[in-house]
Amino acid sequence: MFKEFKVFAMRGNVIDLAVGVIIGAAFGKIVSSLVNDILMPPIGLLLGKVDFSNLYLNLSGKTFGSLAEAQTAGAPTINYGIFLNNLIDFVIMAFVIFLLVRGMNRLSKKVESPVEPTSRDCPFCATSVSKKATRCPNCTSEIKPV
C-alpha cells in the first residue's frame, strides 16, 4: 500500500497540484493585503472615513463602539464589512486567475504544431500506405517513398 501511495504521490500531476496550491495560498495573502491595506483605506476615506472591516450589524440591542468590543462581549453580530472585503478579494483573485488562464490558453495555441500525417494513399488503388513504403500492400504496385 505504501508503494502505491508513493507512485501516486510522485506523479507529475500531484506534485504540480501541490505547488499550485502553495503558490495560490501565498498569492491569496498578497491579494488580501492589497485589498485590506491598499484599496479599502482610500475607498473608506472617499466614503466618509469608513473602516469597512469595522462595519457590522449588532443583533443584541446593546451599543458597542467597535466590532472588537461587540465580539469581546459575545454579542451576536453580522459582519458585513468583513464580507465586503472578502468579496473584493474574491473578485480580484477571480480576475487574475481569468487573466492567467487566458494567457496560458493563448500560449498553448501558439506552441501546438500541426500533426504530420504518417500515411498516404496509393495512386493506383487508393489504399492507405505508409509514407516510407515503396510498394502498396494491397495492389503491390511500386510507389515512390515520400
Tell me: do 41 and 86 sit in the same domain.
yes
Tell me: do 66 and 6 sit in the same domain.
yes
Query: What is the H or E stretch that residue 23 is in?
Result: helix 12-33
Tell me: do 132 and 96 sit in the same domain.
no
Please give the single-letter amino acid code of residue 143: I
Tell me: do 129 and 70 sit in the same domain.
no
Measured between alpha carbons, how far is 83 from 54 in angstroms, rounded to an integer? 11
Tell me: do 72 and 49 sit in the same domain.
yes
Query: Given this model, what pLDDT does residue 110 score?
Result: 65
Other Cβ atoms within 10 Å of 57 Cβ, number: 11
Locate cell 504521490: which residue?
Answer: 9
Tell me: do 28 and 84 sit in the same domain.
yes
Tell me: do 127 and 103 sit in the same domain.
no
Q: 103-142, pLDDT tens digit by residue?
A: 878 877 665 567 788 889 988 888 899 888 888 888 888 8
Q: 73-93, pLDDT tens digit by residue?
A: 888 988 888 888 888 888 888
pLDDT reading at 40 higher than 70: yes
Tell me: do 12 and 62 sit in the same domain.
yes
Q: 1-39, pLDDT tens digit by residue?
A: 878 877 776 776 777 788 888 888 888 888 888 877 888
| Structural domain count, the chain | 2
Domain holding 51, by residue range, is 2-112
- The grid cell for 87 is 468579496
Model pTM?
0.53
